[in-house]
Structures are given as structure tokens and as C-alpha cells.
Amino acid sequence: MTRPASSPPHDPRHLHIGNLKSISAMLVAVSFFAFMDMSLKLLSSRYPALEVAALRGWVALPLIGLWLTHRRTWHRLRPVRWSLHAIRGVLAIAMLSLFTMGVNGLPLANAYTVFFVAPLIITLLSSPLLGERVPQAHWMACVVGLLGVLVALRPGVNGFVSWSGLAVLGAAACYALSAVLSRLASRTDSTESMMLWIMVIMAVGATALAWPSWVPVRWHDAGLLVCLALAGFGGQWAITEAFRHGQASAVAPFEYTALAWAIALDWLVWDTWPDRYTLLGGSIIIAAGLYVIRREKTHASAEHP
């Protein structure tokens, strides 16, 4: 967190102000991402999933270029670890394609409920890939969260358990692995490099894969593409600001407000409402995630009071 030079390193007043700024930024980020996903869902009924992933990459690149020009940080784009960038790009294509397939057959609220398992998967991957020690309580929380996914997916029940639900689960796994690799890449590569190259790989790679079944983009979808670009960039900027100024343990729980946005957009745009299994499964997953966040905050406070 950035503080004035005259402030004590653990000034409670500045910490409180920083957390309030970060929580506000997280709420803004969540709203942006909700509208981005709404655009993905609308586009998924008109274009193949891989083509939607390619469009997501292409519409993001001009805004990233303007951002780099404004910050004058083009010199920081040279990647150090090309292999990690390539793997993250492949995972981004898979994640966005699978998520697009999922939301094409599911309401946003259902898709978000399953996708909320991603932070718990990140916890599972932190031990083998980052060498971090994962407490036993966190493993138990992950098991509980996965049980919540099973409640939401309802195996054996016609309806929600489908390729769409499994596609979102696969997207969450790809996102979690990409997030862990991003932490590895951030040790050597700049934020600008990580933001640009993943979009370049997504745009070029997804276009190559989607080309045999490419559907010409219609002019009346231009508004959706603009919304996709602005919402995606705005969400990325806001979430970066959210974790720049405040404590992660104070900010992260507000990411779950995405479910409220999903329910509202499902109702306003598609006139649908989540059933009790979706809400129950989502509650279990969110409770497990909040438990992990709470333990992390307590552990950090005990080490650095």
C-alpha cells in the first residue's frame, strides 16, 4: 500500500482509508466484469466460442496500447520468461472459450456460482507450483467448496448438470492455473508485459483456431464489442487499484458481490432467476472462501501485529 513519507508504517488511519479506497475499487471492478460477461453471453449465441475469445483479445489491444502510451512504459514490454507467457496465453484462450460455452447454456448466476471455486483451486495449486505451505484448514475449506460445486451442479439431476456446467468448471481451473503462473511471471516480468502479451497470444492464437469456422462479425454487434473492450479494461484497471492500496484480506471478500450483479443481469436481460440449489451451492462456496480469507488475515495479524 502506498503511504505518504511522513506516515508511520502501520498507521491505522491510513490503513483504514486505503482499505476503503480498495473496497470501492473492487466493487467497481466487479461491476465492470459483470457487464463484460454479459457481453460474452450475448455474443456466445451469435459466434463460436473460440471466435469470441479472439474478439476479446483484438478489442482489448487498442486500449492497452493507449494505456501504455499514456504511461510511457513501452520500454517495459520485453518479456523475460517467454515460456510462462505462452502457457498463460494458451490458458487464457481455453478459459475464455470454456466460459463462453458455459454462459451460452447457463444463466450468469449459475456460471458465477461454479466459477467461485477458482480461489480455492488456486490454494490447491500454490503448494506444488509455488512451494507455499498450505495449512490443513485450507485443504478442508477447499473440500467444502468443491462440495458446494457439487450441490450447484446437482449430479444426476436433469438440467444444470451439463456440458455447460462442466465447461465453467474447466474455465475456473484454467483461470486458477493462470493466476498461479502469473505470480511466478511477476517475479521477473513487468505488469505491462504480462497484460500485453497475453492479449496478443489470445487474439492471434484464438483467431488461428477459430478461422475454419469463422463467422463474419456483424455491424449491429459493434456496441457489444465496445462494451466488451471497455468493461474488460475497466475491470482490469479497477482490480489492480483494489489490491494496490489495501489489504488483500479486506478487499477479496467483496469479489463475491459478482453474484448479486449476475442475478440482477439475469433478471433484467434474460428474465431468469437462480433456483435454490444454485443459491445453496454458492453460499457454501462463498463461506469456504471467506473462511480461507479470514484465516489468512488472522495469521498475518499474529505475525505482524
pLDDT of 117 reads 85
Q: How many CA atoms lie within 13 A of 279 on its CB side?
A: 6
pLDDT of 16 reads 53
- The answer as to whether 12 is a domain residue is no
pLDDT of 17 reads 56
- The answer as to whether 55 is a domain residue is yes
pLDDT of 123 reads 75
- The answer as to whether 2 is a domain residue is no
- The answer as to whether 98 is a domain residue is yes
pLDDT of 142 reads 76
Cβ partners under 8 Å of residue 220, min gap 6:
none
pLDDT of 18 reads 58
Cβ partners under 8 Å of residue 291, min gap 6:
137, 141, 144
156 phi, psi to nearest 5 deg: 90, -5
- Go through 197-222 and write b for each residue having 16 or more CB atoms within 10 A of its CB, e for each that does not: bbbbbbbebbbebbeeeeeeeeeebe
- The answer as to whether 3 is a domain residue is no
What residue numbers bound the domain in which 256 lies? Answer: 17-303
- The answer as to whether 47 is a domain residue is yes
- The answer as to whether 45 is a domain residue is yes
pLDDT of 5 reads 39
pLDDT of 114 reads 87
CA atoms of 195 and 186, how far apart (whole Å): 11
| Cα radius of gyration (the chain) | 20
pLDDT of 4 reads 37
Domain count, the chain: 1
pLDDT of 8 reads 43
- The answer as to whether 6 is a domain residue is no
> According to the 3-state scheme, what is the secondary structure of the chain?
CCCCCCCCCCCHHHHHHHHHHHHHHHHHHHHHHHHHHHHHHHHHCCCCHHHHHHHHHHHHHHHHHHHHHHHCCHHHCCCCCHHHHHHHHHHHHHHHHHHHHHHHHCCHHHHHHHHCCHHHHHHHHHHHHHCCCCCHHHHHHHHHHHHHHHHHHCCCCCCCCCHHHHHHHHHHHHHHHHHHHHHHHCCCCCHHHHHHHHHHHHHHHHHHHHHHHCCCCCHHHHHHHHHHHHHHHHHHHHHHHHHHHCCHHHHHHHHHHHHHHHHHHHHHHHCCCCCHHHHHHHHHHHHHHHHHHHHHHHHHHHHCC
* Successive 10-residue mean pLDDT values, the chain, 305 residues: 40 57 86 95 95 96 93 83 91 96 91 86 75 74 81 61 85 90 83 88 96 95 95 87 67 81 92 87 87 70 55
Which amino acid, one-letter code, is at 10? H
- Specify the pTM: 0.82
